[in-house]
Structure 1
Amino acid sequence: MLAKSALLRSVARPSSFGAAMAGAVRSLNVHEYISMETMNSHGIATPECHVTSSSEEAGRITKEMMTERGKDLVIKAQVLSGGRGLGTFKSGFYGGVHMVDTPEQAAEYAKEMLGQDLVTKQAPNGILCSKVLLMERIYPKSEKYLSILMDRDSGGPLMVGSPKGGTSIEDVAASNPEFIFTEPIDIMEGLTEEACARMANNIGLPTGSVAHGKAMVLMNNLYAMFLAKDCTQLEVNPLSETEAGDVVVCDAKVNFDDNAEWRQKDIFARRDTTQEDSREVEASKYDLNYIGLDGNIGCMVNGAGLAMSTMDIIQLKGGSP
Structure 2
Amino acid sequence: MKMFEYMGKELFGQYGLPIPRGKMVTTPEAAAAAAREIGGSVVVKSQVLSGKRGKSGGIKFADNPEEAKATAGELLGLTIQGLRVEALLVEEKLKIDKELYISLAIDGAAKQPVLIASAQGGMEIEEVSEEHLVKTHIDPELGMQDFIAREVVRRMGVPRTSPHHQELVKLIKTLYKIFTEKDAELVEINPLVFSGDRVIAADAKVTVDEEALYRQPGLLQVTERTSAEEAAHALGLSFVELDGDIGVMANGAGITMATLDTLAFYGGKAANFLDAGGGTGEEGTAKALELILSRNPKSIFINIFGGITRCDDVARAFASVKKKRGIPVPVVVRLVGTNQEQGRAILREVGIEAYDFMQDAAQKAVELARS
TM-score (norm 2): 0.67
The residue that corresponds to 2:48 in the other structure is 79
How many angstroms does 1:287 deviate by?
8.0
| Structure 2 gap segments, 5+ residues each | 267-358, 367-371
Confirm or deny: 8 A CA contact 1:62 1:103 kept in the other structure: yes
Relative to 1, partners in 2 of residues 1:313 and 1:54: Cα closer, same or farther, differing over 3 Å?
A: closer
Instruction: Name which one, 1 or 2, has greater alpha-carbon Rg.
Output: 2
How many angstroms does 1:185 deviate by?
0.4
Find the aligned partners of 2:238 and 2:143 in 1 and give their Cα distance.
32
The residue that corresponds to 2:86 in the other structure is 130
Aligned pair partner of 1:60 in 17, 33, 46: 33
How many angstroms does 1:289 deviate by?
4.5
Find the aligned partners of 1:309 and 1:111 in 2 and give their Cα distance.
42
Secondary structure at the aligned position of 2:48 is classed as: coil
Find the aligned partners of 1:102 and 1:226 in 2 and give their Cα distance.
36
After TM superposition, list the pairs within 5 Å mapping 1:1-321 onto structure 2: 28-66=1-39, 71-87=40-56, 95-114=57-76, 116-119=77-80, 123=81, 126-172=82-128, 176-244=129-197, 246-269=198-221, 271=222, 273=223, 275-282=224-231, 289-292=238-241, 295-303=246-254, 307-313=256-262, 316-319=359-362
| Structure 1 gap segments, 5+ residues each | 1-27, 88-94
Secondary structure at the aligned position of 2:208 is classed as: strand
Confirm or deny: 8 A CA contact 2:97 2:193 kept in the other structure: yes
Report the AA paired with residue 195 of structure 2: T
Confirm or deny: 8 A CA contact 2:115 2:137 kept in the other structure: yes
Find the aligned partners of 1:218 and 1:287 in 2 and give their Cα distance.
42
> Which structure has more RCO (C-alpha within 8 Å, separation ≥ 6)?
1
Find the aligned partners of 2:62 and 2:167 in 1 and give their Cα distance.
29
How many angstroms does 1:205 deviate by?
1.7
Find the aligned partners of 1:317 and 1:43 in 2 and give their Cα distance.
57
Relative to 1, partners in 2 of residues 1:65 and 1:268: Cα closer, same or farther, differing over 3 Å?
A: closer
State, as a whole percentage, how many aligned pairs show the same letter. Answer: 29
1:36-58 Cα distance to aligned partner (Å, 9 max, x none): 00111111111111011111121
Secondary structure at the aligned position of 1:267 is classed as: coil
How many angstroms does 1:264 deviate by?
1.7
Confirm or deny: 8 A CA contact 1:231 1:257 kept in the other structure: yes
Find the aligned partners of 2:114 and 2:236 in 1 and give their Cα distance.
28
Question: How many aligned residue pairs are there?
Answer: 268
Secondary structure at the aligned position of 2:109 is classed as: coil
TM-score (norm 1): 0.77
The residue that corresponds to 2:341 in the other structure is none
Find the aligned partners of 1:250 and 1:194 in 2 and give their Cα distance.
26
Confirm or deny: 8 A CA contact 1:149 1:159 kept in the other structure: yes
How many angstroms does 1:283 deviate by?
5.3
